[in-house]
Amino acid sequence: MKRRTVLAGGAAAAALGMTRAAWAQQETVKAGFIYVGPKNDGGWSQHHHEAALEMAEHFGDKVELVIQESVPEGADSERAMTQMALGGADIIFTTSFGFMDPTINVAAKFPDVKFEHCTGYKTADNVGVYSARFYEGRAVQGFLAGKMTKTNKIGYIASFPIPEVIRGINSAYIHAKQVNPDVEFAVIWAFTWFDPAKESDAAQALIEQGCDVVLQHTDSTAPQAAAQKAGDVYTFGQAADMAEYAPMPRISSIIDVWAPYYIERVQAVLDGTWESDNTWDGIGAGMVGIGEISSAVPDDIKTEAEALRDSIASGEYHPFTGPLNKQDGSAWLAEGEVADDGTLAGLNFYVEGLKGDIPS
Amino acid sequence: MIRLEKRPQPSRAWSYATPVLAVVITMIAGGILFAFLGKDPFLAIKTIFYDPLLGEFAWYYRGQLLVKAGPLILIAIGLSLGFRAGIWNIGAEGQYIMGAIFGAAVGLAFYPMEARWLIFPLMVIAGALGGFLWAMIPAILKTRFNTNEILVSLLLVYVAEQFLASMALGALRNPEGSGFPGSRNLQQYPAAANTELIAGTGMHWGVVAAFIAVIAAYVLLKRHMLGYQIRLTGESPRAARFAGVRPNLLIIFCMGISGALAGLAGLFEVAGPAGQISIDFNSGYGFTAIIVAFLGRLHPVGILLAGLLLALTYIGGEAAQANLGLPAAAIQAFQGMLLFFLLAVDVLTNYRIRLRRTEAA
């Protein structure tokens, strides 16, 4: 094993005609993480941070962890990454969609540093991308929302109209509709990943419109707080379990499970076997976790939801299975047809039945 | 007993000394804050103020300093002219956004033509025009209907942000971006890119424009009739009217020039460091520039120095975050302290401190 990696490293260096010594085995690794929000946001960034800490603990002395939180997307993030690379980081995880172009730019300047960009689609020799199939979790949420709503109105706090978010709305809607044909979705675009004040306003507005289940694709617990105040509104934890709001209003959650991936990728750097990848894992591979379905949900519904979760995990059922039409009524997937990853990766339309427009 | 006594004239010496004093006090108070967070205060202050200038990686940071300071200075210079005359344009952030959109739209309209000699200058003009027009809304509303330019210009920032989002998702979206929001990357379009003029220095056209603006503002205020009118209006609007200043024209001029400069800053940013129109392209330069303008005493040279200083706290602050593990909030508090202490010690410019024995009780 050892010898083979050394040989592979040598071959790569020879092939590229440049020194790629850093690609070989190393004793220690300096791993950097860049977060879009504060590391204690209670959701997305916090979960990346906790996974990073878990990874660092796993490796002990072999890994030095450096982080930078609340990094604005855009030009500033490019400097944050450069700073880390200059500071000697061997691998840098950039954990927001908006870091995509900056990651590619900085990676081009530091060919010996490996980069891992979360939720993007651009790769390079030293840039891998990873994301989770959150839409699988959204299917379970949609199912629960459709079953639990009494007003048949479900609110959805969306962040940015990018494919990841649109997939989530579609998946939740499809599965809510399957169990409750009268269900309607109201979507509010918050244009932020993390802004407790805005999220709280959005939740409030949805509740006032009569929504008694509120889903969110933003990272704070402000919607939970708003729902708790309203009393009879159900919500779901986003990115983190948000169990402090269980059993009501939080009745389940989608949990991002990044630590195993981080451990695997840092191990690859230690071994000298790191290669650019494109990882997109779901419930089955353990990257998406479904948080405990709380006691507020009747037992029979809970059992059905868990069955749905398990059938997605086993690959038996795909959340985007035809027949499905686009919002304008044109055909998308025929009976039994399953959406391919390419279409899903760039998904930019609603399925039939959803009202309103995707901002454009 | 300590008493404050108003000076007949603001002290010249103190008006130069207070910014320096404020920086020193900020360093001390910041050091104490960092010590409470369990970090070595000397190391933290060194990381923020010394390393970016003279440390190991200074060759990279010095350039970044210019990249960060350029738009701040450019915007602050424009704002300072209005501020001196008592015209409060608080919405530079919105004008910055509109300049970026106008400029980028012109550049993208020519894609993929290669005539840089034509496209880039047109983008610069469009950028300035975008900011100018956006600033004309509060300006004309003020001159016509006497609305408050502070409120109108500030609220238009939020309108501009919505417009930015709709451009990133709609008209300016990259047709080859597979549905993702954001325009084409102008950095990868040579005819429109605002690249570094000398590699590795951070010096791009926006920084050049900032330096030119500093010199032009200096000359304007020192030598030009208009500069005199601006200063006079700020000091005594009534006297200015007698001296033949036409207040409405001055409002239009000050709002227009600050809008145009903010628009230019936006254009140079979107074509350069940022590269593309995205939903959250703006990162607060327009607001931070207000601090820069005041920190620099509304004086062109002062603004130049203040812009560089604030850029230093950003760059050094980021380094302290990444290398020493200081939380981002501590850095923001540190920057806040700077303005706080500046305003606090400002008292010394206008007042003198008298120590007096208490009179018989």
SS (H, E, C) B123-187: HHHHHHHHHHHHHHHHHHHHHHHCCCHHHHHHHHHHHHHHHHHHHHHCCCCCCCCCCCCCCCCHH
Asked whether A23 and A274 are in contact (CB, 8 A), the reply is yes
Determine, yes or no, domain membership for B155: yes
C-alpha distances (whole Å) from B285 to each of A82, B76, B92 are 21, 9, 8
CA distance, residue A39 to nearest chain B CA (Å): 9
Q: Is residue B245 very low, low, confident or very high in pLDDT (cuts 50, 70, 90)?
A: confident
A145 shares its domain with A35: no
Euclidean distance between CA atoms B22 and A340, whole angstroms: 60
**Whether A141 and A261 share a structural domain:** no
d(CA A159, CA A96): 12
Give me the pLDDT at residue A9, please. 38
Domain housing B104:
71-280
Q: Are residues A183 and A78 in the same domain?
A: no
Smallest Cβ–Cβ distance between A74 and the set B67, B274, B323 belongs to B274
A-chain residues near B327 (CB < 8 A): 69
Between B120 and B170, residue with greater pLDDT: B120
Question: Element (H or E) spanning A34, and its range?
Answer: strand A29-34
* Dist. CA A74–CA A101, nearest whole Å: 8
Q: Provide the shortest C-alpha distance from residue B128 to chain A (in Å).
A: 21
Interchain contact, B327 vs A69, CB within 8 Å = yes
- Nearest residue, CB atoms, A161 vs list B64, B169, B185: B169
Cis peptide before B8 (omega within 30 of 0): no
Question: What pLDDT score was predicted for residue B323?
Answer: 80
Residues of chain A with confidence (pLDDT) below 70:
1-24, 360
**Mapping DSSP to helix (H, G, I), strand (E, B) and coil, where does residue A156 land?**
strand
pLDDT in tens, B17-36: 888 888 899 999 999 999 99
Quick one: A39 and A94 in the same domain?
yes
**Number of separate domains in chain B:** 1
With respect to residue A224, please indicate whether it lies within any of the assigned structural domains: yes
Interface test with B, best of A49, A53, A86 (most B CBs within 10 A): A86
The confidence score (pLDDT) of residue B132 equals: 97
A249 and A152 belong to one structural domain: yes
Please give the structure tokens belonging to residue B196: 């570094």
Residue B335's pLDDT is: 85
The answer for residues whose C-beta is within 8 angstroms of residue A183's C-beta and 6 or more apart is A145, A146, A149, A152, A153, A154, A173, A176, A177
B137 pLDDT more than 80: yes
Say if residues A321 and A338 touch (Cβ distance below 8 Å). Answer: yes
Residues A227 and A248 in one domain: yes
**What H or E segment, with its residue span, contains residue B98?**
helix B92-109
For A41-194, strand residue ranges (E) read: 63-68, 91-94, 114-118, 127-132, 153-158, 184-189
ipTM above 0.90, yes or no: no
Nearest Cα neighbor of A179 from A145, A207, A151 is: A145
Rounded Cα–Cα distance for residues B78 and B211 (Å): 12
**Is B311 within 8 Å of B68 (Cβ atoms)?**
yes
Spell out the alpha helix ranges (H) of A87-210: 100-109, 134-148, 163-179, 196-208
Contact B323 A66 (CB under 8 A): yes
Instruction: Select the residue of A78, A101, A160 nearest B276 (Cβ to Cβ).
Output: A101
The nearest alpha carbon in chain B to A82 belongs to B60
**CATH code of residue A239:** 3.40.50.2300
β-strands A127-132, A234-239 pairing = unpaired
Interchain contact, A161 vs B67, CB within 8 Å: no
Does residue A360 fall inside a structural domain? no
Two structure tokens written together for B9:
């004239």
Task: Give me the pLDDT at residue A1, please.
Answer: 34
Domains: count for chain A: 2
B280, B322, B328 ranked by CB distance to A70: nearest: B328
Q: Is residue B16 part of a domain?
A: no
Query: B280–A72: do the CB atoms touch at under 8 Å?
Result: yes
A172 and A63 in one domain? no
Q: Which residue of A has its CA nearest to B176?
A: A346
The DSSP result for B42-82, as a single string, is HHHHIIIIIHHHHSTTHHHHHHHHHHHHHHHHHHHHHHHHH
DSSP secondary structure letters along A291-326: E---TTS-HHHHHHHHHHHHHHHTTS--SSBSSEEB
Q: Is residue B291 part of a domain?
A: no
Q: What is the CA radius of gyration of chain B?
A: 22
Give how far the C-alpha of residue B267 lies from the chain's centroid of Cα atoms, to the nearest Å: 14
Instruction: Count other C-beta atoms under 10 Å from residue A327's C-beta.
Output: 17
Residues β-bridged to residue A254: A238, A290
Q: What is the pLDDT of residue A24?
A: 65
Task: Point out the residue among A66, A74, A162 whose CB comes nearest to the CB of B322.
Answer: A66
HSE (side-chain half, CA atoms, 13 Å) at A20: 25
Report A:141-200 residues touching B (Cβ under 8 A).
160-163, 191
- B276 contacts in chain A (CB < 8 Å): 101
**Order of strands across the sheet that contains A184-189:** A184-189, A153-158, A213-216, A234-239, A250-256, A288-291
pLDDT value at residue A43? 79
A73–B280 CB contact, under 8 Å: yes
Same domain? For A119 and A168 the reply is: no
Report how far residue B86's alpha carbon sits from residue B80's, in angstroms, rounded to the nearest whole number.
10
Q: Which of A215, A101, A339 is nearest to B181 (CA)?
A: A101
Structure tokens at B145: 């209907």
CA separation (Å) from A168 to A14, B14, B44, B122?
A: 45, 60, 43, 42
Q: Tokens 């959803």 label which residue?
A: A354
Chain centroid to Cα A115, Å, comes to 18
**Tokens 């908006």 identify what position?**
A98
Where does the pLDDT of residue B61 fall: very low under 50, low under 70, confident under 90, or very high at 90 and above? Answer: confident
Q: Could you tell me which of A348, A310, A315 has the C-alpha nearest to residue A143?
A: A310
Tell me, yes or no, whether A29 and A171 share the same domain: no
Within 10 Å of residue A201's Cβ, how many Cβ atoms? 17
Q: Are residues A120 and A18 in the same domain?
A: yes
- The mean predicted confidence, pLDDT, of chain B is 89
B182 vs A contacts (CB less than 8 Å):
101
Pick from A83, A163, A360: CB nearest B318: A83
Closest CA to B25 of B354, B350, B347: B347
The answer to whether residue A354 sits within a structural domain is: no
Instruction: Decide if A70 touches B, using CB distance below 8 A.
Output: yes
Contact with chain B for residue A343, Cβ under 8 A: no
Q: Examine residue B187 and state whether it is found in any structural domain, yes or no.
A: yes
Q: Which two tokens stand for residue A151?
A: 């007003």
* Chain B contact residues (CB < 8 Å to A): 57, 60, 64, 67, 165-166, 169-170, 173, 178-182, 185, 187, 269, 273-276, 278-281, 283, 315, 318-319, 321-323, 325, 327-329
- Residue to mutate among B93, B189, B280, with most A CBs inside 10 A, is B280
Residue A242 domain-assigned (yes or no): yes
Q: Which domain holds residue A212?
A: 134-255+288-345
Average pLDDT of the residues in B185-199: 86
Instruction: Judge whether B87 lies within some domain.
Output: yes
Per-residue pLDDT at A10: 37
pLDDT of residue B119: 93
- Do A272 and A243 lie in one domain? The reply is no
In a domain, B178, yes or no: yes
Residue B93 in any domain: the answer is yes
Number of cross-chain residue pairs from A and B with Cβ atoms under 8 Å apart: 87
Q: Give residue-wise pLDDT tens across range B1-22.
A: 678 888 888 778 887 888 888 8
CA gap A265, A15 in Å, rounded: 24
Residue of A nearest to B270 (CA): A75
pLDDT at residue A3 in the model: 36
Residue A216's H or E segment, with its range, is: strand A213-216
pLDDT category, B187, cuts 50, 70, 90?
Answer: confident
Q: Are residue A93 and residue A66 in the same domain, yes or no?
A: yes
